[in-house]
Structure formats: structure tokens, C-alpha cells
Structure 1
């Protein structure tokens, strides 16, 4: 049993609070555990060179906060389960801002990841493939990627597949290859924020394309091509982030016709279609000679893998992208790539995606029940929704008030390419630990939605 070493928290406004905050910090950091004994009040006073009254006041405050408990004749101890309480208090009550996939028990990632890695390390043949790799990816892993990608893109061969450390690095490499400073990259008027980060780094300009509930409007895309020299179109074709729209096949074909006519490359960022019960033919199948397809495992398995695949228009493009990857990240993580390859061939990756899809279905059903009186866009296979706000709410203010009530969400301005975004928020359903937590978070949001008067932050 450890004995707490007294000290003062430097930033405390009062000495007695400095003792309490120091104790709280040590519990949170794991330096003391539930059940550990505290020195006597007199010993603490002598060690810190403060009067006994200050220490007594600190003990009373620590008891009030539930940090310590007394045992007559034995002294004071760190209260049981207090560490768990402190950790939960330091986190946002409910995070609906990060668009993570849920991790259902049926996905069994806690067991599959360590067992999979242990199996790789035990295999001497596979160990040889865990050293430095070619920046395009290990040939064995590229073959596995091509095998897995055949489920959604036709006529794929490994010589057109490149592996990167996540979709963001893939997107940067493609844009770096396709676009020069000042050139135009078209995208939906509400789009993935990481694209804006890439455009700022490369100095290319984003051109907003009007959308509706089915995604990018073809006529609006063509008008932009007529007015400006559009070099590429960025699109999330399925379960769009943030709007959840899936572009239907007929509309995809119209967009393909326009792209072919104006010689516009298509960057198809496709993290979600693996989760769809009925996926639609990919742009990479409809227009292979102009499409750069990105398929990450972050949304259909786990972001921890940091593995994404790129399908290039032809084999010659691989080395050009590999040059960018070599300069920015050298290679995708070999251990994670090896694990993904094993999961592809033994069916584990598909099993995880199916478990996530089923959990998404359950969470979307729950959201539909709680938000039945409000307007929003969603897809039963996805793990986020796009919530339109009533007239008395501004998106930024709604998100701010939600955070004060313990729920974090993302306002439309974070996704907007337009200067005057609509008042909407993205609500991500995946990070909540269970359905009870999600119910609590969504219920809090409905209370805010029901406010009849506009609430704004004070400006001074």
C-alpha cells in the first residue's frame, strides 16, 4: 500500500485547494490508487510548511469531492473507484463530434488485434516483411488489397494499387500530384474538413458545387467546368461526410459524362461504401481512366490500423504517388499492413465491417426514435447524421450550448466551402460507448432543439 507524498498544485488560488488539486492530479495520473493511505494531517502540514487548519480544510474539501474516506483509528484513504470517476469527469460527457465507427462487442477488436499481431510475430516468413518497405507498399499487401477491392471496383490489379498510412495522406499525395498552386479543385459545398487542410498546404483553390439530398448536382458541376478550369473533382460518393448523401447510379453516370467531356480527374474518397448493404457502382469502375479511388479502413474497421488503399488510373501513376509518400511518410506501417492482409484473406475484415454495419443500424434506429420530431438526413448503414436546426438556433451557438451540457457535436461551418452555411450540425453516433450513453446524448440535444427562444453567447 503506497503512502501519498504531499505537494502543492502550482496553479491553485488557495493553499488548501493546492493540496486537493495535487491529490486529484496524482490519482488521475495513477501515482496513487484507491485504497492507498494518506499521511496524517499533522505530517502533511509539516511537509508543506503550512498550518494545520489549512490541511484540515483541504481534507474536508477532498471528502466533499469524494476523493478520500476516513477509517476511525486507521487514518484516511483514497476512496474506492475514485480514479474511474475522475477520468470520466475530465472527459466530455458524451462525444458525438468524432466520426469514428462504433466498436461493438461482436467486432471483438480487443482480442483480434493482439492475437493477430502475435500470430504475425510468430511467423518467421512474415517477419521478413515487417522491415522497411517500398513506398508504394509491400507486393504481398498490394495483392491482398487488390483482392479486397474487387468487391467494389471491377478489373483491379495490384499494379494499380498503392498503400498509404491512412486516407488523409492518400488525399494529400493525389492532390500534390494532380494540382498546381492556384488551380481549382471542385467539391461539394459541405465537405470533409481534411480537404481544406490539403488545399491550404498546396495552394490550390476549392470550388463549391451545389448539392441536394442526392449529393453533387450534375448541372452545377458542369456550370463550374464552363466558368473555370476545374482540374479535379473531390467526391465522397456514399454516406457522404457530413450530409450522409449517397449519389445514385444515374447521377454518377451524368457526373462521369461531364468529367470525361472536360477532362476532369475524379478523386473518389470512399471510406463508407463497405458498410452499405447495397453499394452502388464506384466512379473507379465507371471512369477508370480518370478516377483516383481512396479506400480507408478507418470507418469500416478501426482508425487504429492507419491503412488506406489507392487505386490509380494506370500503373504508371504508382511511382509518381510513391515519390510523394516517400517524402512525407516514407511508407505505410508494415505491421498494420501485414495484419490487414491476414484479415483480408481469413475473412476477419469483412466480419468486422458487418458487425459495425449492424451496430450502425441499431444506433440509427435509436436516433430515429429520439429525433422523430426533427429534420435530419441519415443512412441506416452509416454512423453519423446531418441535423437541420430550427430557425431559433445558429449552428455555432447550438454546438456551444450542447458542449456546456456535456455533448460535443460539429457545426456546419466546419464543413462549409460556401460563405453562408446553413444552420446544421453533424452528429456522430459511433463514439458513444453504448446505446444508453447515446440515448442520453441525443435526449440532451432534443431538449436544446425544443428551446423556443434564440440563445446566443454574450459578446463583450
Structure 2
């Protein structure tokens, strides 16, 4: 009997890798066990609504990773002699993952100590056990007040009644889209944008309108042209250290986009995870046009994604309550314990210190990347976690990412970010997830060597 229920990791760089990554995850979680027989390739293709060749590539990749064995006449089985951690490459060498855009964990940040120390301190306080209870979907008032204090760096003083504490930016964005839009509504975004927004649009039936970009982000004239043709319901922006292009919009461009949005009655969704990493803050869209802007500020990029805390600033108190109703139905509440820990870090200035340590480590990693990839066409912000590497003419992004993956280095091709046909053949290289600079140097050296080769033009055997 087959025990694995086929599924696909939605944010994988390619569909066949999404199948393999789902299988790996299910092995780790115990949903599938060593010795289990997999469904037939045709059954998986039908279940996932993908081409049979996609499943064949996935099976080939799973065999290459040492996850499965095929037996003629019997089927394909999870190997009985799997290592403790599946997904290891070649001679047991661990995969060098430069695909996840998370902050580094420098020693100076003391995250390994700060988290347990902070939780112990919270729970030992006189009312500490209340942090283990349910709370309002808006978040506790004390946490919303501390969020307002933290947000002062990028916007004028904000009343707590306009702020919600949510369980991360992705759940906040999903709830926002559920609150504001219906299937068929349009959101204008950069031609290259956050894959999480693409996933939400696909799930909810929203239409993304791509806008041309340059070194300073979305081009205002492109936004105005889109508004004149078919006015979108909202404009989605990542104002600082854009994911993936690394562009930071200057204040003048932000004000031009706001003026156009006002003229055509377009709301603004400001997804702003990276502003805390800037040395000097630029007025946010919420500061310039708070009455039409929904501001999302996560702690995942300036501290750690383990907190799963993001703050949403609504245009007004009534709008905040509308969003709270959707949050109640979809996610109920953010973790009260993690929200209280974030508030504690804001109050004692630890969040600022952690962010400063991450910013400093990012600078060192960006210097290393600039040295190893010298001469390549790339964009980077010295304070950010990632760089945007435009490929030589002989490489296509999907091919380059696939060959890098086969060499043990994970990166993300421009296809993952593109709204429509990719405007450029490029890859995002994330520098934060490497455990140390030595591992990062190894991975970047592999990419540098691959860039120097002609396009190999050989895909996995199907």
C-alpha cells in the first residue's frame, strides 16, 4: 500500500523540486517512513495536476538525493537505510542553502541566549502566566503600544488603536487581501515582486499587474500608465532593500507614487521588513499618506523569523477592526508569548541591538560576496541579506539555478519573482542563512565557478 499523500511545496523554485522538498519534509515529520512505497508517477501527476515529466524529474532527483530506490515490477520505495537527515548531497556534504532570505545570526546578537532568558523572565513575572492565555485578535494593548514606540523611527506617533499584532507578515498580507479584495480585483506590483504575494494572489483569485522598475524601484510613470488603462485596487510596494532587486525608493519617488495613488483612488500596501536595517530612515508611505496606506512591519528580517510577529498599521481604527475580524477567522491571534517577548526587546532596547548586530554582519557578508563575485553584474545593499545577480547572456536563470542546485547550492531564479514573463535573467542569492562566513564563501565560490562556465545546456534525465 502507498502511504504518502502527494503534495507540492508552493514556493519551490521549480515544480519538480517542490515535489521532492515536500517528500523530504514529510520524511522529517514522520508522515512517511522508511520502506514505504510511493504512489505511481502517473497517480502523483494526476493528484497534483502536473505533467508526468515533472514527476519523473522529481523521482530522478529523489534518487539522486538518496531518498528512494526503484524496484522493477514493484515500484519506488523510501530507502530503508536513510541517514538521519535526508536531502544531503554527494559524499554526505551538506547543502549550501542561499535560497531563504533570513537574517544571519551573529554571535553579537546573542539570540541563543536572549530568547530563553527573555521567556524565563516573562513567565516568572507576577502576571507572567497570562502570556500563555488567549488574547484579542488585535493583540494585547501593551504590545500594540510598544509596537507604536518601535515604529516611531519610520512614521509619526501612531495611536495603538490603528495597530494590530499579527503572526508574521505572510499571514498579515493574506488577511489584508481577504479584507480588502474580491476575486478578480487587481493589485499593481513591481514586475519582480515577493513570491509570497504571488502565492496569495493565486490562492485568492487576485490579478497582479506588473509595473516596470529601475534602480530606485517601481517607476511612477509605469504606475500612472497602469492606472489610466485599468485602475488597480491597490499598489503593493517594498520600499527599502526590495526583495529581490535590493532597490530602496528615495523619498521623492515615494511621494510621486502617493500622488498618483491619490489621484486614481488606489490604496497602498507597504510591506516593509527591511527598513530597520537602513542607517537613516526615509519617511514611509504610511507616514506620507497614512489615510490610504496599510503598513506591514515584520520582525523576521531585523531580528528572527522564530518570533513570527509582525505589526500592521491600518489607515484608521475602523479599518483595523475589520482586519481583526479576518485575522480572528484565519489565524485567531499572534502568539501572546512571542508578542510579549518582542515588546520586552523593544522596551529594553535589545531589538535595536540585535538589528545593529545583524546589520554589521550583513556588511561583512556583502563584502565577501563582492570580492568573490567581482566583475559580475549585480545589485546589492551593504546592509541587506541578499544580492540580485544578473546572469551572463549564455545563462538562463532557471538553468543556472538548477545546475547550482546539482552542485549543492540553493538559489532562487527570477522566474520565482516575475509577474508575467521574467524581465531579466537573474537569481537572488541570500547571504544570511549560511551558518558562518566560511560556509558562505564555499557556496559563493561554487557560484563564481559556475558563472565562468558556458551554459551546460544539460537538464536532468527524464
Which bracket does the TM-score occupy, shorter chain normalised? 0.7 to 0.9
Match of 1:132, SS state, is: coil
Q: 1:219 aligns with which of 221, 224, 246?
A: 221
Return closer, same or farther for 1:422/1:173 CA change in 2, 3 Å cut-off. same
* Cα deviation, residue 365, structure 1: 0.7
Any unmatched runs of 5+ in structure 1?
1-7, 15-20, 30-82
Who is 1:385 aligned against?
A: 387
SS at match of 1:266: strand
Q: Is the CA contact 1:214–1:248 (under 8 Å) kept in the aligned structure 2?
A: yes
- Output the CA distance in 1 between the equivalents of 2:126 and 2:246: 44
- Residues 258-289 of structure 1 show CA distances to partners (whole Å, capped at 9, x for unaligned) of 01111111100000000111221100001111
1:90 CA displacement: 6.1
The CA distance in 1 between the partners of 2:366 and 2:392, in whole Å, is: 21
- Contact residue 392 and residue 454 of structure 1 kept, 8 A: no
Q: Counterparts of 2:333 and 2:309 in 1: how far apart (Å)?
A: 10
Distance 1:382 1:304 in 2: 19
Contact kept, 8 Å, 2:153 with 2:281, in 1: the verdict is: no
Aligned equivalents of 1:116, 1:110: Cα separation in 2: 11
Instruction: Give, in angstroms, the shift of residue 124 of structure 1.
Output: 2.3
2:357 aligned to which of 342, 355, 359:
355
Give the alignment partner of residue 112 of structure 2, picking from 78, 85, 110: 110
Q: Distance in 1 between matches of 2:386 and 2:274?
A: 11
User: How do 1:164-183 and structure 2 match up within 5 A?
Assistant: 164-183=166-185
Q: Does 1:438 align with 2:454?
A: no
> Against the structure 1 CA distance between its residues 207 and 119, is the aligned structure 2 distance closer, same or farther, given a 3 Å change threshold?
same
How much does 1:342 deviate? 0.7
The DSSP-based 3-state class of the residue aligned with 1:230 is: coil
Are the aligned partners of 2:89 and 2:95 in contact in 1 as well (CA < 8 Å)?
no
Given that residues 88 and 94 in structure 2 are in contact (C-alpha distance below 8 angstroms), is that contact kept between their aligned partners in structure 1?
no
**Match of 1:78?**
none
CA contact (8 A) 2:105 2:358 kept: yes
1:299-448 correspondence to structure 2 within 5 Å:
299-448=301-450
CA 1:432/1:252 → structure 2, altered by over 3 Å: closer, same or farther? same
Q: Secondary structure at the match of 1:124?
A: coil
Shift of 1:415: 0.4
Q: Which residue of 2 aligns with 1:455?
A: 457
- TM-score, structure 2 as length reference: 0.81
**Whole-angstrom CA distance in 2 between matches of 1:129 and 1:440:** 43
Q: Which runs of 5+ in 2 are unaligned?
A: 1-33, 37-67, 72-78
Given the alignment of the two structures, is residue 271 of structure 1 paired with residue 273 of structure 2, yes or no? yes
SS in 1 for 2:199: helix
Which one has a bigger Cα radius of gyration? 1
Q: Which residue of 2 aligns with 1:285?
A: 287
Distance 1:451 1:174, change over 3 A: same
**Paired residue for 2:140?**
138
Aligned equivalents of 1:209, 1:119: Cα separation in 2: 48
Cα distance in structure 2, aligned partners of 1:91 and 1:328:
40
Q: Distance in 1 between matches of 2:378 and 2:353?
A: 30
Alpha-carbon separation, structure 1, partners of 2:113 and 2:307: 15
Partner in structure 2 of residue 48 of structure 1? none
Question: Would the alpha carbon gap of residues 267 and 92 (structure 1) be closer, same or farther in structure 2, given more than 3 Å must change?
Answer: farther
- Corresponding position of 2:128: 126
Q: 1:148 to 1:91 in 2, by over 3 A?
A: farther
SS in 2 for 1:373: coil
| Residue 196 of structure 1, aligned match among 176, 198, 203 | 198
Q: Structure 1's 89 and 102: CA in aligned 2 closer, same or farther, altered over 3 A?
A: farther
Q: How far off is 1:12 after superposition?
A: 6.0
CA contact (8 A) 2:193 2:243 kept: yes
Partner of 2:242: 240
Give the conservation status (yes or no) of the 8 Å contact 2:270–2:294. yes
Q: Is the 8 A contact 2:88 2:95 kept in 1?
A: no
CA deviations on 1:431-455 (whole Å, 9 max, x unpaired) are: 1111111111111101111013553
Cα drift, residue 126 of structure 1: 3.0
Quote the residue 1:295 is aligned against.
297
Residue 89 of structure 1, CA deviation: 6.6
TM-score w.r.t. length of structure 1: 0.81
- Residue 428 of structure 1 and its aligned partner are, at CA, apart by 0.1
The number of equivalent residue pairs is 391
- 3-state SS of paired residue (2:117): helix
SS at match of 1:208: strand
